[in-house]
Amino acid sequence: GEEVEVKPIDKEAFNLGFIGAGKLAASVAIGLVNQGILPPSRIFTAHRNPESRLDFTSVGIQVYQNNHQVAEECDVIIFSVKPQILKEVILDLRPLLSQNKLLVSLAVGHKLKALQEWAGHCRFVRVIPNTASVIGEAATVMHLGEAATVNDGELIADLFGAVGKVWKMDEKLSDAAGAVGGAGTAFASIAIEAMADGGVAAGLPREISLSLASQAFYGAAAMVMKTGKHPAQLKDQVASPGGITIAGIHELEKGAFRASMMNAVVAAAKRSHEMG
Ligand code: NAD
């Protein structure tokens, strides 16, 4: 068909709406306000359950009675309801969702193809953050729909940059990206817990062991990110000849630590593909 001109989103004046005022939406909204990226006067949501308003109202965000008011008021609309009800929520708002509104889904699983069909247009962006958005350290992946412009992508990357790091990529990489960036935080948590258990087995008090293990992971991750060195290089630096580190590494290799971690990621990606 004929190409429809879309109105660019005015970065200085657009209103941002969250449909679904839950945990994830609150973490993003509060991150945006706290980091001065958007004033609370330009963020809107709606909530049926009065108690859950608090997260939003505490930073001055307007909470409406229903989704329709949010959809009317806002230029950028982030759907942050559970995946099971997303379709009915979008279909209900469809008459209000013109091409001049940029739409975003945070729901796990639903592909752009379905989202675009439900909304009736393709100016849609899929964003997959993780739970670390609560502390501003999410690993977020985003996929642009067919009619989302380069500016749309930058705007959404800037918004989610407030609660972590953002990678833009083709949707065909989504399953693998979710397996590393999403499920990966659970795999890392197990590794931290196991290391702390080892400390306890070697005689450390539980609390000290867990703190040391967590900081060791935090430090290792920060070294990789900040020095740009390959993890193998950082490992080699610590492992002196005949020393304690190489003795431990030998055990990790005997236990197939690397293969286990690789298999975990591949299994998560496979499961994600089956669910989509
Ligand atoms: P949540 O249950 O905290 O939030 C959903 C909110 O939607 C609830 O507050 C609920 O009251 C509200 N709601 C229910 N029906 C509604 C309706 N018809 N209209 C408006 N609001 C309605 O869930 P969450 O953890 O914030 O997750 C939200 C979405 O984000 C999900 O689709 C999930 O797949 C996705 N997601 C979450 C995470 C995470 O770390 N929590 C990570 C990636 C993606």
Reduce the DSSP state of residue 262 to 3 states and report it.
helix
Alpha-carbon gap, residue 117 to 140, rounded angstroms: 24
ipTM of the complex: 0.94
Copy the structure tokens of residue 250: 């030998």
**Angle made by CA atoms 167, 171, 175, in degrees to the nearest 5:** 85
Q: Which amino acid is present at 226?
A: K
108 lines ligand 1 (CB under 6 A): yes
Alpha-carbon gap, residue 61 to 54, rounded angstroms: 10
Place 3 in a pLDDT band, splitting at 50, 70 and 90: low
24 lines ligand 1 (CB under 6 A): yes
Question: Looking at residues 195-203, what average pLDDT do you find?
Answer: 98
Residue whose Cα lies nearest atom 33 of ligand 1: it is 107
Copy the structure tokens of residue 271: 């499961």
Min mean pLDDT across 55-64, 142-151, 225-234, 246-255 is at 55-64
Phi, psi of 193 (to 5 degrees): -60, -40
81 lines ligand 1 (CB under 6 A): yes
115 lines ligand 1 (CB under 6 A): no
216 lines ligand 1 (CB under 6 A): no
What pLDDT, on a 0 to 100 scale, did the predictor assign at position 1? 42
Place 134 in a pLDDT band, splitting at 50, 70 and 90: confident
Best mutation site among 81, 115, 140, 142 for ligand 1, i.e. most ligand atoms within 8 A of its Cβ? Answer: 81
Residue whose Cα lies nearest atom 22 of ligand 1: it is 20
Alpha-carbon gap, residue 52 to 54, rounded angstroms: 5
Strand 76-79 to 62-64 pairing: unpaired
Reduce the DSSP state of residue 17 to 3 states and report it.
strand
Cβ 61 vs Cβ 40: under 8 Å: yes
Q: Which residues pair with 19 in a beta bridge?
A: 79
Alpha-carbon gap, residue 23 to 68, rounded angstroms: 21
